[in-house]
Amino acid sequence: MAETATKTQTKKNPMQEIRIEKITLNIGAGADPKKVEKAIMLLSTISGMKAVEAQAKKRIAAWKLRPGLAIGAKVTIRNNTEELLIRLLKANSSVISKRKFNENGFSFGIEEYINIPDVKYEPKIGIIGLNVSVTLKRPGFRVKKRKLSPAKISKSHRITKEDAINFAKEKLGAIVE
C-alpha cells in the first residue's frame, strides 16, 4: 500500500503545469523618429520577427507628444520562447529581483543589447537597452478569453507570485534575489 501512496503523490496534475504564453520585448524611444527606427531594427534582429511601432495615445504638450506619434517599438514572441528567454536572462547573469515578479509573469530590463549572447554590436543602432516581459499561463486559461460562455479562472488555477518565482528557478535556472 505504501508504494501506491507514493506513486499518486509523485504524479502531477498536467493542468497545473506552468508554460510561457508570450515574451514581449519593448524599447521606449521618445518622440525622436530616428531612435524609433533603430529600436525596430534592434528588436527585429534579436527576435527574428517584425517589430511594430508603439504609438502615443494621449496628447502631452510638455513632452511634445500627440496621438498617433511613434514613441517606441515592441515585438511579441509566442514560438520558441524558452530558448530566447534563457538567452535574455544570460544578459542579466540570470539574476532577477523578487520585486520584478507579479501574478501571471515577470519582467526585467537589459541595459545594453550587446550583453545578449549571439547578438553583435551594430554601429547603425548604437547602444540601446530594452525591457522584457514574460507572461505565464496554465492549460485551460482559454476559458477566460473564449467567445462562447467565457468563465472565470478559479483561485486554485491562477498563477501566484510564488508560482512564477518557482517556475523561473526550476525551468529557466534563474537566480531570484
> What string of DSSP letters covers 51-89?
-EEEE--S-BGGGTB-TT-EEEEEEEE-SSHHHHHHHHH
What does the pLDDT read at residue 2? 54
The pTM of the full predicted model, rounded to 2 decimals, is: 0.84
What does the pLDDT read at residue 135? 96
Locate 101 and state its grid cell.
Answer: 515578479
Query: pLDDT > 70: what percent of the chain?
Result: 94
Residue 8 confidence (pLDDT) above 80: no
**Mean pLDDT across the stretch 125-133?**
92
Residue 112 confidence (pLDDT) above 60: yes
Residue 21 confidence (pLDDT) above 90: yes
Note the pLDDT tens digit of each residue in 30-50: 888 899 999 999 999 999 999
What is the chain's mean pLDDT, rounded?
90
